[in-house]
Amino acid sequence: MSKVKIYSTNTCPICDKTKLLLKKWKIPYEEARVDTDSGALREMLEISHNARTVPQISINGKWIGGFSELTELHMDGDLDELVES
């Protein structure tokens, strides 16, 4: 199983929606709170090439983008392949 990581904040409704979708799709994930962990913020900025919005998502250490990119991958049928690799 791949390692899905969501960089989020406590006040982000789209972050909550992303986590709910992953649970619905039965995809385990790790959450890194960038509002309370400066190390997580630095990591998010590095992996996402300085993206300033949340959520930001990585799979197996590869940045895929945010909520829109995640749902596009799912709709295109590419998410399962990424998660299973």
pLDDT digits (tens, 9 = 90+) for 28-67: 999 999 999 999 999 999 999 999 999 999 999 999 999 9
Which CATH architecture fits 4-84? 3-Layer(aba) Sandwich (3.40)
| The pLDDT of residue 1 | 53
| The pLDDT of residue 62 | 93
Query: Quick one: pLDDT band at residue 2, thresholds 50, 70, 90?
Result: low
Rounded to two decimals, the pTM is 0.92
| The pLDDT of residue 84 | 82
Q: Name the average pLDDT for the chain.
A: 94
pLDDT-above-70 percentage for the chain = 96
Q: Check pLDDT > 90 for residue 82.
A: no
C-alpha span between 12 and 80 (Å, rounded): 25
Instruction: Kindly state the helix (H) or strand (E) to which residue 5 belongs, with its residue range.
Output: strand 4-8
In 10 A of CB 18, how many CB atoms?
A: 23
49: left (phi over 0), alpha (psi -120 to 50) or beta: left
For the chain, domain boundaries: 4-84
